[in-house]
Amino acid sequence: MSSLRAVRALAVKDLRLLLRDRGALFFTLGFPLLMGLAFGWIFGGGGSKSRSDLDIAVFDRDGSAPSRAFIDELGGEGSGIATAPATDLDACVAAVRTREAIACVVLEEGFGRASDAFFAGGPMRLGVHIDPSRGAEGGLLTGKLTALSYQRMQSLFSGESEALKRARMVIDQGDAPPALKSALSDLYTSIERLNEGDEGQDEKQDEKQDEKQDEKQADDGQTDDDSEPESGGFQPVVITTSEVRAERSGPPNAFAVSFPQGIIWGLMSCVMSFSASLVRERTQGTMVRLMIAPLAPAAILAAKSLACFLTCILLQVLMIAFAVVVFDLTVSAPFEMAVAMICSALAFVGVTVLIAGLSRSEEGADGLGRSVLLLLALFGGGTIPIFVMPPAMAAAASISPFKWASVAIEGALWRGFSLAELALPLGILLAFGVGGFIVGVLAMRRRGAG
């Protein structure tokens, strides 16, 4: 029999045994999820704030009554936006940089005047500073700003159609110069269209924005969602967006921290389950039967390691997928995440073999797991996130493979680490894996069981 086929058959057996052991299955897949949810809820303030709110910093450079009203409306009940006032532009942009807010909205000088007299002082001007990685939220925000601007203008003109008709008549019949007549005629046409409804206008506005964005890709990363009104057209609002790179110092939400923590607990359960099962093979005699089969001894260990590896990978994929789907997390570095998961799984396969090698009995493996692994998990970020640990504690945590798994997974999940930045945690994880495997195998051989 080919070794690969034997390894596969034995690994399938181990996965089947795990599936039938409800306790082990719960602690490997269910408990980590509960931990992720519980810690996320606790870290996130007990769910006091709706997770769907967009946190927006607002700097009111205009300081007028209409601008204040606009801000109130922007963060109003049911808007899905939570606004926080900024004292100046720097503070507003800093909020984005530090991830306190996903965007900074600036109401430029003249905003109030423009909103009260659309045709006297030009369009209302808004600035939006946003992290480019928050494209979806940015689109949502500019859409909301545009809609609010049009609503405001529409409220000024509602019920005025008759008055407009009369004004057009007066201009048409008067002695005004032809250029002025033409400009006023365009203006009235625009207002009438506005009065016909927002939707149609919004679509045209969007089309116009798209065309202009294509034409005007700003070299400095700054783009105008609307441009200055050209001859024959009218733009009530001009939104200027600029990119602000958010610093990678804080998680986007509490679940970005709690789910990697949940993974730590799941990895611990994997280690305990598989080290106990490896010891059980010895104590219950099945190892004897496997050793007499025409297999290389390495195939038996390889199969157990493969099953453990696959379970660790499955746990991590399920946890991250859950966090992404349910808590709107975005994996900032997907490839690096895949590498981090693989290295974490390899590390804990090594730890599994080490514990199995050092344990004489199932109870021994269980005891070693509970004492040593629990301690390593607690200090390795299982309860207190590494980045909020005091420096001395964080340094002491370096002996724990859980810390490095946590650093690697968080790094790929929300810190946006590159492979170069992940090299240290990944290297240490691989060292734990290889070292654990070698020592574990030597211990088994010494005991005559490997």
Among the residue ranges 13-21, 53-61, 79-87, 99-107, the one whose residues contact other proteins (CB under 8 A): 13-21
Phi, then psi, of 249 in degrees rounded to 5: -105, -15
For other proteins, the binding residue among 151, 182, 284, 383 (CB under 8 A) is 284
- Token pair listed for 283: 């104590």
Whole-number Å distance between alpha carbons of 75 and 54: 9
Q: Is 20 one of the binding residues for other proteins (CB under 8 A)?
A: yes
Note whether 128 and 241 are within 8 A (CB).
yes
Scan for tokens 């609010």, then name that residue: 148
Note whether 201 and 237 are within 8 A (CB).
no
Least distance CB 357 / other proteins (angstroms): 18
# binding residues, other proteins (CB under 8 A): 23
Least distance CB 295 / other proteins (angstroms): 6
Q: Is 446 one of the binding residues for other proteins (CB under 8 A)?
A: no
Q: Is 9 one of the binding residues for other proteins (CB under 8 A)?
A: yes
Q: Which helix (H) or strand (E) holds 435?
A: helix 419-447
Least distance CB 4 / other proteins (angstroms): 12
Provide the 3-class DSSP secondary structure of residue 309: helix
Q: Is 296 one of the binding residues for other proteins (CB under 8 A)?
A: yes
Among the residue ranges 88-96, 120-128, 193-201, 279-287, the one whose residues contact other proteins (CB under 8 A): 279-287
Query: Which CB atom, from 20 or from 325, has the smaller least distance to other proteins?
Result: 20
What lies within 8 Å, CB to CB, of 209 at 6+ separation is 225, 226
What's the start-to-end Cα distance of the chain, in Å?
A: 20
Q: Is 97 one of the binding residues for other proteins (CB under 8 A)?
A: no
CB-count burial class (<10 Å; 0-12, 13-18, 19+) for 415: buried
Whole-number Å distance between alpha carbons of 103 and 98: 11
- Token pair listed for 368: 């070693």
Scanning 26-134, the segments in alpha helix (DSSP H) are 31-43, 65-74, 89-97, 111-116
Among the residue ranges 203-211, 253-261, 287-295, 380-388, the one whose residues contact other proteins (CB under 8 A): 287-295
For other proteins, the binding residue among 78, 177, 294, 391 (CB under 8 A) is 294
Q: Is 5 one of the binding residues for other proteins (CB under 8 A)?
A: yes
Query: Which CB atom, from 276 or from 373, has the smaller least distance to other proteins?
Result: 276
For other proteins, the binding residue among 15, 94, 167, 291 (CB under 8 A) is 291
**Cα angle value 288/293/295 (rounded, 5°):** 110
Least distance CB 21 / other proteins (angstroms): 7
41: how many CB neighbours lie within 10 A of its CB?
14
Q: Which helix (H) or strand (E) holds 103?
A: strand 103-107
444: how many CB neighbours lie within 10 A of its CB?
21
Per DSSP, which regions of 237-391 are E strands?
Answer: 237-243
Whole-number Å distance between alpha carbons of 96 and 90: 10
Least distance CB 358 / other proteins (angstroms): 21
| Window 351-390: contact mask with other proteins (x via CB under 8 A) | ----------------------------------------
Q: Is 25 one of the binding residues for other proteins (CB under 8 A)?
A: no
For other proteins, the binding residue among 263, 270, 295, 413 (CB under 8 A) is 295
Among the residue ranges 121-129, 283-291, 325-333, 382-390, the one whose residues contact other proteins (CB under 8 A): 283-291
Query: Which CB atom, from 20 or from 391, has the smaller least distance to other proteins?
Result: 20
| Window 232-271: contact mask with other proteins (x via CB under 8 A) | ----------------------------------------
Query: Which CB atom, from 288 or from 442, has the smaller least distance to other proteins?
Result: 288
**Going by DSSP bridges, is the β-strand pair 54-60/103-107 parallel, antiparallel, or unpaired?**
parallel
Phi, then psi, of 118 in degrees rounded to 5: -60, -35
For other proteins, the binding residue among 13, 61, 68, 208 (CB under 8 A) is 13
Q: Is 290 one of the binding residues for other proteins (CB under 8 A)?
A: yes
Question: Applying CB under 8 A, which residues contact other proteins?
Answer: 1, 5-6, 9-10, 13, 16-17, 20-21, 284-286, 288-296, 448
